[in-house]
Structure 1
Amino acid sequence: MTEPSWQAQWVWSEGEISPRNEWRCFRKTFEVPAAGWEDASLRITADSRYVLTVNGQQVGRGPVRSWPFEQSYDTYDIKHLLHKGKSNTLAVFVNHFGVSTFYYLRGRGALLAQLDLALDGDSTPLVLTDDTWLTSKYFGYHSRAPRMSCQQGYSEFVDASVWDSSWVQGDYDDSSWEKASLVGPVGMEPWTTLKKRDIPLLTEETKYPVRVETLKQVKSFSWSTAIDFRNHMVPGSDEHMNVVGFTGYMATILYSEQPAAAILGFTHSNECVGSITLNGNVIPAESFYGVQPEKYVQVQLEQGDNLLLIDITAGGVHAGKLHFGIYSDSTVEVKSAMQLENESSAFLTIGPFDTAVFIDHQEKVFLDLDNEIYKSVQAKVKTVEDLKQFAAYLQPVSVALVSEVDVISMCIWKQESIALNVPADLHNMVIPHQHPAVVPVFSGYDTEMVIDFDKEYSGYLAFDVEAEEGTIIDFYGFEYMLGDYRQDTFGLDNTLRYVCKKGRQQYQSPIRRGLRYLMVTVRNASAPLKIYGVTIVQSNYPVAEIGSFQSSDPLLNDIWKISQHTTRLCMEDTFVDCPAFEQVFWVGDSRNEALVSNYLYGVNDIVKRCLRLVPGSKDQTPLYADQVPSGWSSVIPNWTFFWAIACYEYYQQTGDRDFAKEMYGHIKFTLEHYQQKINADGLLEINGWNLLDWSPIDQPNEGVVTHQNMFLVKTFEVAAEMADIAGDATGGKAFTDAGAILKQAINKHLWNPAKNAYIDCIHTDGRRSDIYSMHSQVVANLTGVAGVEQKQIIDKYLLNAPADFVQIGSPFMSFFYYETLAAAGKSQVIIEDIRKNYGQMIDHGATTCWEMYPNFAENRSNPDMLTRSHCHAWSAAPAYFLGTEVLGIQRTAPGWEKVTIAPNPCGLAWAKGAVPHPEQGRIDVSWTADESGKRITIKVKHPKHVEINVVVPEGYQGEVVVAVI
């Protein structure tokens, strides 16, 4: 049946068109005919996110991330939920961000929905969003909750005592609600095109914790807040997420009824915390304590007003957020030094004296840090009266940008923390049965518990509790702890504050989170809290675990399992880098993630969706952005090159020639713009984020960077292949020639014969890098750039890296290293490297793959912090290479029409497993080598339409058994 035309209109409410972090409810009650229809289809989308309920039953959430100009919508079959001949209710919960993120571009608040009834192929609209719908702000949600991170939306603060959660039910009294306001018709800006969701709905699976890890009575800040100085200091910065800078000061009054000692705490001090003065006295640096990024100082407050002045200058930040807390045994009130506006907070700023927006691939801009007025503030402002000297620069900070409480700071910092034994019945909160855990109450203290889900998950926090009204439950998710060490999620406010109503209540958060551990802190409890359960509704792209791997080495088996779980958690509506910190579709990461997913799950729609999203960034930059769709216009040239390579690999995976033709035009477009960056020496010289790995290789953001010149050669070659598929012979020859010319220039200018190695870069001043890295040598080998003589030399480095070369520092770079080793027939080296580096993760209790190897911690100020992100799919390489090398399953024709099975025993006694075929089930392989190491039995089961070539390992005599399904 052809989908009916849209007749619904976008709706919202009166007032601000793009309010900051607004949660709004919409309802429509209607009659459904008793007969005369067979199907009921509901299409829906919203700006920014929605949760849909039909007759009190939650149906789905969305939409998937998309560019505003091709807004995605979802379609639900809801005929089984409708009551024929009776009243029915649609209820939609909408969160409008009101700011751009790394996965959303700011639009305006709006909802669009249309319910069609169908009979014999004809559809009739029954319900349309229009001004007959009713709407209300969800008054239980605090719009002033802090941003979770620069990449994401907001943390969560919900007060159940001021809102009736039964608003989704049909019998709810909505007589006090306002009528929805019409925004406009389908096709209006910014949603000029609507695009049907191109992937299935994500899973929702309930996951229970396994234990209560700790119980403590704690005491934290008596007052705290988080302040968004980015949006205050840089007008218009809510429209994008580009890096910004600003200069200026924050001023506030700390009022104390009597002289008192206090602790000032800044838990995320890497931004917006420069010099600090109290009552005109500079607090010396040696007075502060705490492991970075935490920063604390004990001060003595005078009776009455105390003027606090903080230099909040930020040289280049995404978030620009100040986390600030105060602890004192006496009452301390935070108030404004000057009441400038009714809607102002307790804070004002002096400045900004300068602002800047930094975009890596555009002309360089600089922040003026030498402004004389700015530099004079600290010396001149000793009292409130002194502020008047800077009247022209005083700005009140809007209360909307100041949170009521900074929950994450209260969870991180403790004035007192007393560990207690965990009583057996407290574990009832993690057991799915009817008996609750009774949380003890301690006079003068809060009660803190940490529960362990045993492995990381990504989804929606849910709980069932019984409480007195006003009881506060703070939830804080994090990824790693070991003994007394807890790795806090600095840069990610992974918290939820829930204020209880009286009695039994259930709640499921609409905000996605990634975590393994969950800190649960009960505050303000007048009676013990009963917890009947805490769960995570795990949500990811729907996959079956078709791929498998087992071997005689338990360590490799464990490594494969954490690689599998990591990949699954990082498959949302796109591939994402990590489920906790960012949840961002990084274009370069996804190339490797797709290859791993091919060997685990064999799903193609998510890969196609990711690849198609990238060219949508062309209006931000013709070089294509490195994360999409995003408010940050940033270019990592390698990420664009990996995208083009991934387009070709998708064709190889599926045999989809039409898709290859479609993407060729986009590849050609961006490469023609990259060719404009070729300098007089024939090398790519570009301003951008010229990244490959986090190791200290010489990869400046200006100049000629060796590894990306080499990857550009490979991309030219891929473009030529795609041109051939598309029938563009002229374009194919042009790209072939461009690759050959660039390869020649690399070997002429970037090879140092005295060092027998490729240098890392040439700086803009012409200075040749004196740093040599394994990265440049590996990429030269992988891309085929190295000439015959050069390759003979750098081949040796693959097995014996020179000690003075920068070594590979991340699992992401290891993927390319392993590809190079595989091409050289060095499977044994791959397996040894996997055991060594990933084995360290297993030794430290990893259940998912880390962003960096643990030994990279040598460069960190905190030796306990082994990696930032503990779940990062760019690190899941073992799941791919154990399939390609140990099982030896390798595609040798597009669409897996031909497959070679060439196992590499690598010292193992046996291995078995399976790899998904993209269309016809899977390919099973098992092999067993005898103790002599000379004989091997290989068993293969494969779909009948796949041509199989089995290769017995060199040095072995083999028995091959092949079965066709």
Structure 2
Amino acid sequence: MSTNEGGRLTMWHASWIWGSGEESPRNEWRCFRKSFHYEAAVSSNTTVKLTADSRYVLYVNGVQVGRGPVRSWPFELAYDEYEIGHLLRAGSNTIAVLVLHYGVATFQYLRGRGGLLLQAASTTEDGTERIIAATDSSWTTAVHDGYDARSSRISCQLAFAERYDARSLNDTWTEIAFDDSVWESAVVIGNAGMAPWTSLVPRDIPYLTEEPIYPARVEEMNFVKPAAWNAVFDVRTLLIPESVNHANPTSFVGFMATVVTLSEAATFTIGSVDNGRIPLRVSIDGKWLDAADYYGENPQQFVKAELSAGEHFLLFNLSRGSHGHGYHLGLHADVSFEVRSPLEGKNGAAASSVPFAAIGAFDWAEHIDHQPDSPMRKEQPEHDAMLGVGSAEQLLREFPEWVREVPEELFTRTDVYGESVWHVVEQPQPVPVQLQQAVLASGNSAVVPVHAELDTELVIDFGRELSGYIAFEVDAAEGTIIDGYGFEFMRDGWRQHTYELDNTFRYTCREGRQSYVSVVRRGLRYLAITVRGASRPVKLVEVKLLQSNFPVANVGVFQSSNAMLNEIWRVSRDTTRLCMEDTFVDCPAFEQTYWVGDARNASLINYYAFGDAAIVERCLRLVPGSSFQSPLYGDQVPSGWSSVIPNWTFFWITACLEHYQYTGNEQFARDMWPHVRFTLEHYLEHIDERGLLCKRGWNLLDWANFEQPGDGVVTPQNMFLVKSLRDAAAFASAAGDEAGGSVLLERASMLRSAINAQLWDEDRAAYLDCIHNDGRPSATVSMQTQVIAMLCDIAEGDRAEVLDRYVVEPPAHFVQIGSPFMSFFYYEALAKLGHQDTMTADILHQYGAMINNGATSVWEVYPTSGITHNPKMLTRSHCHAWSAGPAFFLGAEVLGVRGASPGWTKVSIAPKPVGLSWARGSVPLPGSGRIDVSWTLDTAANVMKLRVVAPQRVELSYEQPGGYELEIEEVRIG
């Protein structure tokens, strides 16, 4: 097969290869090697092109070269290209690739099959290309025996946690001298162009950074002991095996059972430190424990029972729904106990490696929000009968056809999360100064204190939120365990655990000094490192995080006379950078997911903070690939979760127009216009007889308690559709389709008229939030709806004046804005109405609360939102790009810099004082250069002194701020 790379035809001589096992194994870490002879004198340039399913790490002669590929649709799989000539030597050389194949669908990956495609070539001075290595059956391969394939899912959004044993025989497998003679020959599975990777496209963005960041201090040291027995189950796959093929929500009816034998009578504790959205419900010997018996910080759940010596039958009701999170289960008593499967002894069955049995599923359903639901049966006689089972014997007698073993790959006792979160003993210790010094980048090392009976936990504070790859170096005895657990927030001894995120790793040491670099990306501020089972002192030599993000410079700058505003701008900028990977992602810890609607706002912030266009274009071009899942386009892509939030698609349309306006790239407009038109045509099919958009689905706008039902007419959604139709018309004009744009403008006008005719409530002098599917108008009236009405130019005349008052002074009885994401639209509306002073005051109030609570990045929700239902848990995610709006608005409104033509060949400068005495900063220009703005107020003379530095090529216009004369000093460069 051939692909076209930048207009130059490149032939793939390589074949896709894999091992001789399963096509799509679960959580398989597979090594590939090829040795070859190289003559350094014959070439002027040597490169390697490769891609893999699902992810790879590339090594040349033992040196890590890169990681990839970037997330992409399997039918448009991206490949990477690296220069490797400087790593080669005359004579024998080795290329080695570690491929991690997920074997399950995630929020950034569609399940395919395992595969590696690689081609290395030298280009001679006369332009001749010579292949020096290409994947074929001459390559060798082996499953890496150091990685535990039974490790637990990180989350429903991500793949698997990292469990590495350095005693592995393959620990030096990337080196030239490694003997791979016992490895198998790779199996050729097809040529380039085979399914599912029918098209190969070159990477379209730069490689991500890997910048070493060292900790700020050791926050705590504790001697700890975990519960006696911990495990993680993949309940979703256990009860619905075919669910590995998608990431859609599921519901099911099923159970698990085990037999616990106590050596003597004791208090027995059953706990789940993270129930994975499946509440802990257990019966002991046929008696279901009452809801009032459970305790713990939701979603942690614990229950205690006084048990006699001997056997006890435990039955767990798993009937609920799951998106794919792990089900963490712990058992503890101060006496010895054994756990075994109820199936042991049945028909002479031997002891099972998994001491639980599965029962069911009696029924299950998969849910896709934009498709008709597939409900489960309302009556579940098997479920009701199971509730009365009180012994293993009764279970096997009455339900023999439903009881089965739990597959080994869906169960692990290596529950690092459980052991890190549930401590039955915790003894705080003073931190030795040598340990404080050792965590710094000073070359110091220190001995980690160990306890004869307890584990040693160090809580390391990196001082700010980070995202990337943990790396460390220790000197330890063989078999010593180093557990790592990353989290984002702690205060006054309380830790905010990463519920529904198994943000952990386990490293089992070989003897001596050793180092490790994680291959799994994670976000965190704090890293709890726990040393377990040390037979001699452990020396900590180094710990760091390789900060990995899209490579952007801090071109944008903002400073002012208000120190709080400056800090808010800085953390907003830093948050956006942390959420720039191979796409924009919502957060670096919990999800690492490209949410399409979030990315529209992040794109604008990026323009003002960094001025990068490549990552935005990559994100926008990925979206239409979801059309095979829905013509309405996915809300997160590329993803195994087939999900649609209509507003997110509408924001994507607006983002396409804004990207054209920023770059002036007409080819982008011509390429994307057919996709914009395609999805809008399908949305318009959902216009009902009232002339309104009425659609069943996930009709989300904000995390707030206003009515945005899953079926019916949702008012803000209709309003955003009006704006999308108008924006699409402007985009059509840029693409050269004036006629197509005119059609959309007409439809926008018709929809606007229908909104005003049917969704305005005269009695409440406001727009309804919705009309339910049964015809009921919403009981709530929200700021969300009124803000969007103003932003989308829905109201006119007296209604517009009413909304203007609401936007500036929100009525107390209206549902208030519930997230910084919604605030972005609120600030857009305020800026549009000329209320930048109100906008800035709200930024200082809402974001100032984050800063006052120690934020180093902006949060998913405001600390005053109450959404988490836990006064200690001020937000879920502590780093969320959808919240970073101040980095855009302070540049666009306070500095006053806005593009006035496609490509910003014309720029308007309209600064707003907003109560400041001075402000200065920089705004990046598309392509190259920037505009520097500084202004000061002379209040006595009512004069704003404005200095602007800009390239000669940019045409500038100025707008006088209200109440001040403008004195301009204009400096031109280039």
Report if aligned partners of 1:760, 1:773 keep a CA contact under 8 Å in 2.
yes
Q: What is the deviation of 1:931?
A: 4.3
SS in 1 for 2:10: coil
Q: Tell me the residue number matched to 2:946.
A: 938
| 1:684 alignment counterpart | 693
Listed one character per residue, the Cα deviations across residues 224-278 of structure 1 (whole Å, up to 9, x for unaligned) are: 1110010111131001000100001111111223333321111113623353111
Which residue identity lines up with residue 601 of structure 2 in the other structure?
A: N
* Contact map agreement 1:269 1:292 (CA 8 A) in 2: no
Which residue of structure 2 lines up, in the alignment, with residue 831 of structure 1? 840
Letter in 2 for 1:819: E
1:333 to partner: Cα distance: 2.1
Match of 2:747 in 1: 738
Which residue of 692, 696, 710 maps to 2:719? 710
1:597 aligns with 2:597: no
TM-score of the pair, normalised by structure 2: 0.97
Amino acid at match of 1:705: V
Q: Number of aligned pairs?
A: 962
CA 1:380/1:572 → structure 2, altered by over 3 Å: closer, same or farther? Answer: same
Residues 20, 98 of structure 1: 8 Å contact kept: yes
- 1:226-625 correspondence to structure 2 within 5 Å: 226-269=232-275, 271-314=277-320, 316-319=321-324, 321-339=326-344, 345-625=354-634
3-state SS of the aligned residue for 1:672?
Answer: helix
Q: Residue 272 of structure 2 contacts residue 280 of structure 2 at CA under 8 Å; is this kept in 1?
A: no
- The match for 2:3 is none
Structure 1: how far apart are the matches of 2:745 and 2:653? 15
Separation in structure 2 between the aligned mates of residue 275 and residue 419 of structure 1, nearest angstrom: 33
Contact 1:279 1:383 in 2 (8 A): no
**For the Cα contact (< 8 Å) 1:307–1:384, is it kept in 2?**
no
How far is 1:928 from its partner? 0.8
1:795 aligned residue: 804
Matches within 5 A, 1:107-256: 107-119=112-124, 120-256=126-262
Q: 1:199 to 1:611 in 2, by over 3 A?
A: same
2:276·2:325 contact (CA, 8 Å) conserved in 1? no
* Bigger shift: residues 160-169 or 612-621: 160-169
Question: In structure 2, the residue corresponding to 1:75 is in which secondary structure?
Answer: strand
The residue type paired with residue 319 of structure 1 is G
- Amino acid in structure 1 at the alignment position of 2:803: I
Query: What SS is found at the alignment partner of 1:10?
Result: strand
Q: Name 2:655's counterpart in structure 1.
A: 646
Partner secondary structure for residue 882 of structure 2: helix
Distance across 2 between alignment mates of 1:426 and 1:933:
59
Asked whether 1:964 is paired with 2:969, we answer no
Structure 1 runs not aligned, ≥5 long: none
Deviations 1:381-417 (A, max 9, x none): 4443333201121122101000122111111111121
Moved more, 679-688 or 291-300: 291-300
* 1:884 aligned partner: 892
Structure-2 separation of matches of 1:668 and 1:692 = 23
Name which of structure 1's ranges 186-195 and 322-331 shifts more when overlaid on structure 2.
322-331
| Matching of residue 776 in structure 1 with residue 785 in structure 2 | yes
Q: Which residue of 929, 935, 938 maps to 1:927?
A: 935
TM-score of the pair, normalised by structure 1: 0.98
Q: Which amino acid is 2:72 matched to?
A: S
**The one of 5, 12, 18 aligned to 1:12:** 18
2:276–2:322 contact (8 Å) kept in structure 1: no
Give me the whole-angstrom Cα distance separating, in 2, the residues matched to 1:163 and 1:626: 44
The aligned residue for residue 699 of structure 1 is: 708
8 Å CA contact retained: 2:253, 2:318: yes
Return the alpha-carbon distance in structure 2 between the equivalents of residues 159 and 672 of structure 1: 54
CA contact (8 A) 1:544 1:601 kept: yes
Partner Cα distance (1:259, 1:313) in 2 = 31
2:86 match:
80
**Residue aligning to 2:8:** 2
Identity %: 49
Displacement, 1:286? 2.2
Pairing 1:907–2:912 present: no
Provide the rounded CA distance (Å) in 2 between the counterparts of 1:201 and 1:554.
Answer: 35
Distance 1:428 1:466 in 2: 17
Q: 1:917 aligns with which of 922, 925, 939?
A: 925
| Aligned-partner Cα distance in 2 for 1:557–1:386 | 65
Q: Which amino acid aligns with 2:423?
A: K
- The whole-number CA distance in structure 2 between the counterparts of 1:305 and 1:797 is 66
Q: Tell me the distance in 2 between the aligned counterparts of 1:57 and 1:349.
A: 45
Paired with 1:807 and 1:675, the residues of 2 have a C-alpha distance of 30
- Aligned-residue RMSD, C-alpha: 1.4
Match of 2:959 among 941, 951, 954: 951
- Corresponding letter in the other structure for 1:103: Q
CA distance in 2, matches of 1:673, 1:901: 40
Query: Structure 1 stretch 420-429 or stretch 178-187: which is displaced more?
Result: 420-429
Q: Kindly indicate whether the alpha-carbon contact (under 8 Å) linking 2:276 and 2:326 is maintained by their aligned counterparts in 1.
A: no
> Is the CA contact 2:154–2:325 (under 8 Å) kept in the aligned structure 1?
no
Matched, 1:39 2:48: no
* Contact 2:276–2:328 (Cα < 8 Å) also in 1: no
The 8 Å contact of residues 476 and 495 in structure 1, kept in 2 or not, is answered as yes
Whole-Å separation in 2 of the counterparts to 1:382 and 1:28: 56
In 2, the alpha carbon distance for the partners of 1:151 and 1:282 equals 33
Matches of 1:380 and 1:254, distance apart in 2 = 16
8 Å CA contact 2:484–2:529 kept in 1: the answer is yes
Cα deviation for residue 519 of structure 1 reads: 0.5
Cα distance in 1, alignment partners of residues 387 and 710 from structure 2: 34
Bigger mean CA offset, 220-229 vs 618-627: 220-229
Deviation at 1:443, TM superposition (A): 2.0
Report if the CA contact (8 A) 1:888-1:901 is conserved.
yes
Match of 1:875 in 2: 883
Deviation at 1:327, TM superposition (A): 1.8
Gaps of 5+ in 2: 1-6
Distance 1:530 1:34 in 2: 42
Deviation at 1:320, TM superposition (A): 5.1
Does the 8 Å CA contact 2:569/2:887 hold for their aligned counterparts?
yes
**Amino acid paired to 1:108:** R
Letter in 2 for 1:897: T
> Are the equivalent residues in 1 in contact too, given 2:653–2:724 (CA < 8 A)?
yes
Residue pair 2:278, 2:322 contacting (<8 A) in 1 also? no
The letter for the 1-side match of 2:114 is G
Establish whether residue 89 from structure 1 lines up as the match of residue 94 from structure 2.
yes
* Cα shift at 1:372: 1.4
Deviations 1:285-344 (A, max 9, x none): 222221111111222344333211010011x32125321011222222221110478886
SS in 2 for 1:510: coil
What is the CA–CA distance in structure 2 between the aligned matches of 1:426 and 1:930, rounded to whole Å? 53
Task: Please give the alpha-carbon distance, in whole angstroms, between the structure 2 residues aligned to 1:137 and 1:754.
Answer: 69
**Is 1:101 equivalent to 2:109 in the alignment?**
no
Secondary structure class of the residue paired with 1:690? coil
Give the whole-Å Cα distance in 1 for the aligned partners of 2:42 and 2:534.
Answer: 55
